[in-house]
Amino acid sequence: MADGSFVFGPFRLLVAHRVLLRDDRPLRLGSRAFDLLAFLVRRAGETISNDELMAEVWSGVHVDDNTLRVHVAALRRALGDGPGGNHYIANEPGRGYSFAAPVSREQGDAPDARSTADRPAHNLPVSLTQVIGRDEIIAALAAQLRARRFLTILGPGGVGKTTVAVAIAEQLSGSYADGVRFVGLGSLADPDLVPATVEAAFGEAPAGADALASLAAALRDKRVLIVLDSCEHVVQAAAALAVTLLQAAPGVAILSTSREALRAEGEWVQRLPSLAVPPKSASLGTAEALAFAAVQLFSERAAASMHGFTLADEDVPVAVDICRRLDGIPFAIELAAARVDVYGLRGLATLINDRLLLAARGRRTAQPRHQTLSALLDWSYDLLSPTEAAVLRRLAVFADDFSLDAAQAVAGDIAGLALTDQLVSLIQKSLVVADLADEGTRYRLLTTTRLYALEKLRAAGEEADANRRHAAYVESLAGR
């Protein structure tokens, strides 16, 4: 690949350094996306066939046209290419793609190329999909982390905690002279290995039993951001590590994601909300509905799985209903949208309350616990105490929100007077939602959590008894 840099619009492509700058700020691109952009830019104005592009970018690897379309779509999103924006990559059906914007070439390194190459390294995972509906909270949490040093993002599985944490870290990467390190703890079975896993992320050989002390000493004079992802199953070890490093190294900041708070000294917590869904009373056209992030995500993922899919005005009520019933949870919406080509939009609406949604498989490349909704919820359920698990199963009989009295009626035989403690614990672990209102607190389960808990209730042979208790409670209300 030729050296030098190419300039188009607000972008500078530094080929030798494999860096794309927008207004002198680096943008993250996957390796294939970068190679694709470089090839198109070097031959700007030419129409290049799909076969030639795939042979250049995926040399020696068999891929199909769909793989190319996915990477072109990701590249367009990174460039802001599309309706209402700039036009960089043109598609000529049946012929191929071309780079349509004017390009100027600079020989050798651009003035800022060396400084860009010398920027602190990071190991943040690269996503090929656009982050939807999170701009405001990413900006707000980035500012909060800069001021507080220790922030934990909370939420149920599939709400997008890792996605938001990576985007925050990427936004702040230039603020840490010694870089950013992403540490995935999800696959870690032994909490004692947390310090060594963090140490390994810095390229250091684990120091055995003294790994935490060794890591604290190594970071004492560093300015670095550490992202601890998926802490809920090693929460005590993660909390101890965070406190030790923050006390020993004033230049260290820690951003963690978890389904429950670390409850460590100095920790600030932010519960990540679901994506915005239109209110029930709204009557919207396509453009108005797509202003809501949940509908936008559904539409985009449906289009990615079904060529030619577009959300029409007559489809909007069905799509909105699906997003609302999935509580705006991104992972659930993505799984549902990926089945539009199999069930159709209206057929998909009937699937939402069916166990088939729990078993629907996501991306092959995802971690095992992120491949199905069942696996995602297994991860949380398996961390519960026997009493917490039993209470959660019983609460699945409520199709809507419920009061503390109602919960006591269906699960009080399990937890007794300690039901409130169990309920609080399930809220803290992002399995029950508490809605505060003037008339008192109401509780509810997300649709996907309720479907999962119902399956567990049936498997435990407790469904009939729970339904009897629920019916008796409803009858008592009527009697009052």
Q: In this structure, are 62 and 108 located in the same domain?
A: yes
pLDDT of residue 287: 87
Q: In this structure, are 126 and 265 located in the same domain?
A: yes
Neighbours of 437 (CB within 10 A): 8
Whether 332 is covered by a domain: the verdict is: yes
Whether 358 is covered by a domain: the verdict is: no
Report pLDDT digits (tens) over 378-404: 889 999 999 999 999 999 999 999 999
Whether 27 is covered by a domain: the verdict is: yes
Q: In this structure, are 110 and 135 located in the same domain?
A: no
- b/e per residue 178-194 (b: at least 16 CB within 10 A): bbbbbbbbbebeebebb
Q: In this structure, are 411 and 468 located in the same domain?
A: yes
pLDDT of residue 208: 55
Residues of the chain with pLDDT under 70: 1-4, 24-25, 28, 30, 60-61, 63, 82-86, 107-121, 127-128, 204-209, 282, 353-371, 480
Q: In this structure, are 84 and 219 located in the same domain?
A: no
Q: State the total domains in the chain.
A: 4
Q: In this structure, are 239 and 315 located in the same domain?
A: no
Q: In this structure, are 249 and 297 located in the same domain?
A: no
Write the CA distances from 275 to 22, 39, 292, 293, 321, integer angstroms: 28, 36, 8, 6, 14
Examine the fold and report which residue of 64, 95, 115 is the final residue of a domain before the chain moves on. Answer: 115
Q: In this structure, are 195 and 264 located in the same domain?
A: yes
Whether 95 is covered by a domain: the verdict is: yes
What's the CATH number where 103 sits? 1.10.10.10
First to last CA, the chain: 79
Q: In this structure, are 429 and 450 located in the same domain?
A: yes
Q: Among all chains, which residue has been given the structure tokens 């924006």?
A: 85
| Phi, psi of 360, rounded to the nearest 5 degrees | -60, 135
Q: In this structure, are 391 and 474 located in the same domain?
A: yes
Whether 359 is covered by a domain: the verdict is: no
What's the CATH number where 132 sits? 3.40.50.300
Q: In this structure, are 126 and 111 located in the same domain?
A: no
Whether 107 is covered by a domain: the verdict is: yes
Examine the fold and report which residue of 100, 115, 130 is the final residue of a domain before the chain moves on. Answer: 115
Examine the fold and report which residue of 216, 243, 271 is the final residue of a domain before the chain moves on. Answer: 271
| Phi, psi of 83, rounded to the nearest 5 degrees | -55, 130
pLDDT of residue 112: 47
Whether 324 is covered by a domain: the verdict is: yes
Q: CA 237 to CA 118: how far, in whole Å?
A: 34
Structural domain span for residue 469: 377-479
- Tokens at 60, concatenated: 């020696």
Q: In this structure, are 251 and 125 located in the same domain?
A: yes
- Tokens at 470, concatenated: 């629920």
Q: In one letter, which amino acid is 201? A: A
